Amino acid sequence: MAEQHKPLVIAIDGPAASGKSTLAELLAKKLGFFYFDTGVMYRAATLAALRAFQSVEEEEAVTRLTESTGIDVQPASIEDGRVMDVLLNGEDVTWQIRSSEVEQHVSKVSAYPGVRKALTEQQRQIGLRGNMVMAGRDIGTVVFPDARIKIYLDASAEERARRRYCELEARGVEMSYERILTSIIRRDRIDSTRKHAPLKAAADALVINTDGKTIEEVLEESLSFIHQQLQNQG
């Protein structure tokens, strides 16, 4: 009898601006997989809370709201630079979740255990749809601990701040390097010290430190790891 293959999930985790979104997008293109950036779920939940309560301070209320909100991702329906559509109860919020207000509050929302539980469940459901590259903070440790392939990208805070600075500059957004660095260090602290699903590499993940490496080198390293893992696992 032909062996049944489970839908393949490639888990890419790492801190903010480690290059994981770029890598995940390139890998997805190369392999013909769907690219699912799970951070959008936390951003959409934050947007919903800000709209409903103008604040994210009430953990209980934010959790209840997240549990009753439908957040989904779909292949990009418009060619405007997006990599996927992000839907909040059916409404396209792909760009609204990138606002600085959401940016400012999303770490707090993503530290609420009830919010994580609800969104982890939704991410698992989406993951079951088929071959995909999932990028986040806890994909290899919590969302899909038995994912066949796990990659963890890291880079120093200074290198990540430098990259974010160049990205923003290219988009015409003015922000000082020092301010970006402070915000990255603050987010790292919140993401890696939270009680539930803190940011850390899974024991069986390939850890790549991207300091001083080009994206092509990181892509190359990842692809050879993926091929090797698939061969080993049969």
Judged by CB under 6 A, the residue of 8, 25, 31, 39 near ligand DC is 39
Nearer to ligand DC, 57 or 220 (CB): 57
Asked if 50 interacts with ligand DC (CB under 6 A), we say: no
Q: Using CA atoms, how far apart are residues 154 and 192, in angstroms rounded to an integer?
A: 13
**Continuous H helices in 54-138:** 59-67, 100-110, 113-127
If one asks whether residue 107 binds ligand DC (CB under 6 A), the answer comes out as: yes
16 near ligand DC, judged by CB under 6 A: yes
Considering the rule CB under 6 A, would residue 154 count as an interface residue with ligand DC?
no
Q: Which residues contact 203 (CB under 8 A, 6 or more apart)?
A: none
Beta-sheet strands, E only, within the chain: 9-13, 34-37, 71-75, 84-88, 91-92, 132-136, 149-154, 206-209
What gap in Å lies between CA 34 and CA 25, rounded to an integer?
Answer: 9
**191 near ligand DC, judged by CB under 6 A:** yes
Q: Which of 47, 93, 106, 115 is the binder for ligand DC (CB under 6 A)?
A: 106
Q: Is 159 in the site for ligand DC (CB under 6 A)?
A: no
Interaction of residue 38 with ligand DC, rule CB under 6 A: yes
Closer residue to ligand DC, CB minimum distance, 189 or 227: 189
Closer residue to ligand DC (CB): 108 or 208? 108
